[in-house]
């Protein structure tokens, strides 16, 4: 074999090797390399998240314990809480329940179920915990249709109690002016 013939063989061999390696480097042939990041329980995008570990609790503490009745309002109704509630109301509730909270929001009329009048006795006579659960879980019709959406994923626990404290102030606003004493 002449020097040039040997050179051609060596180059051909090197090219073949490079070609085979390229197959792997461009993931044409995929190898699951062992890497430490992958040796752990993880889920890829769009996969269902792992279930919450047994006996774990949310960092804010349990909002309420199902089956134990309505929770008690832990947030004092001070001006800060009411103001936070007012702002949250104007972002999350006003479209349905209306600027006067009477259930006549701009999209309220388009709904099959008229949003509740939050100033009225029906709502105001319910305990704080009941309103909290309504905001958290929404209201579902018997056929599974949604009357009011569950807002627990949009609002923190504190947010929801602030809203309850705000709703309480609406009763006073809507109450008829007392007849002056003679
Ligand atoms: C998509 C529209 C919509 C939004 C947004 C909405 N609600 Fe409602 N809400 C309704 C409807 C409709 C009802 C009445 C459902 C029924 O009577 O079955 C209702 C009922 C209620 C009730 C009455 C529950 C009862 O027990 O009588 C409360 C309290 C309430 N909403 C509070 C809120 C608060 C606070 C927010 C904002 C955080 C909010 N809602 C956002 C549509 C909405």
Task: Give the tens place of pLDDT for each residue, 160-179.
Answer: 999 999 999 998 655 555 56
Helices assigned H by DSSP within 29-178:
79-92, 94-97, 121-124, 128-137, 157-174
Number of domains observed in the structure of the chain:
1
| Residue owning the nearest CA to atom 43 of ligand 1 | 148
> Domain of 117?
79-174
- Retrieve residue 133's tokens: 């659960």
Pocket of ligand 1 (CB under 6 A): 92-93, 95-97, 111, 113, 115-116, 118, 122-123, 126, 131, 134-135, 139, 147-149, 151, 163
What end-to-end distance do the CA atoms of the chain give, in Å? 128
Q: What is the pLDDT along the chain (182 residues), one digit of tens a residue?
A: 889 999 999 999 999 999 888 887 777 777 776 667 667 767 777 777 667 788 877 777 778 877 888 899 999 999 999 999 999 999 999 999 999 999 999 987 788 888 999 999 999 999 999 999 999 999 988 887 888 999 988 899 999 999 999 999 998 655 555 566 65
* Contact indicator for 168, 155 with CB cutoff of 8 Å: no
CATH code: domain of residue 130: 1.10.760.10
Q: Positive or negative, the Cα torsion across 65, 70, 72, 78?
A: positive
| Residue owning the nearest CA to atom 8 of ligand 1 | 148
Q: Ligand 1 atom closest to Cα of 111?
A: 12
């Amino acid at each position: 074999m002449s020097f040039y013939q040997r050179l051609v063989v060596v180059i051909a061999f090197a090219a073949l090797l490079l070609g085979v390696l390229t197959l792997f480097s461009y993931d044409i042939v995929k190898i699951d390399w062992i890497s430490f990041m992958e040796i752990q329980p993880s889920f890829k995008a769009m996969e269902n998240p792992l279930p919450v570990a047994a006996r774990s609790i949310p960092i804010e503490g349990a909002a309420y314990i199902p089956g134990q009745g309505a929770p008690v309002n832990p947030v004092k109704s001070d001006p800060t809480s009411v103001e936070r509630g007012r702002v949250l109301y104007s972002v999350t509730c006003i479209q349905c329940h209306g600027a006067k909270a009477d259930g006549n929001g701009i999209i309220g009329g388009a709904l099959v179920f008229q949003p509740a009048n939050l100033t009225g006795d029906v709502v105001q006579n319910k305990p704080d915990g009941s309103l909290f659960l309504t905001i958290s879980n929404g209201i579902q019709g018997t056929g599974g249709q949604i009357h009011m959406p569950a807002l627990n994923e949009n609002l923190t626990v504190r947010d929801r109690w602030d809203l309850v404290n705000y709703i309480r102030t609406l009763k006073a606003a809507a109450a008829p002016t007392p007849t002056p004493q003679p």
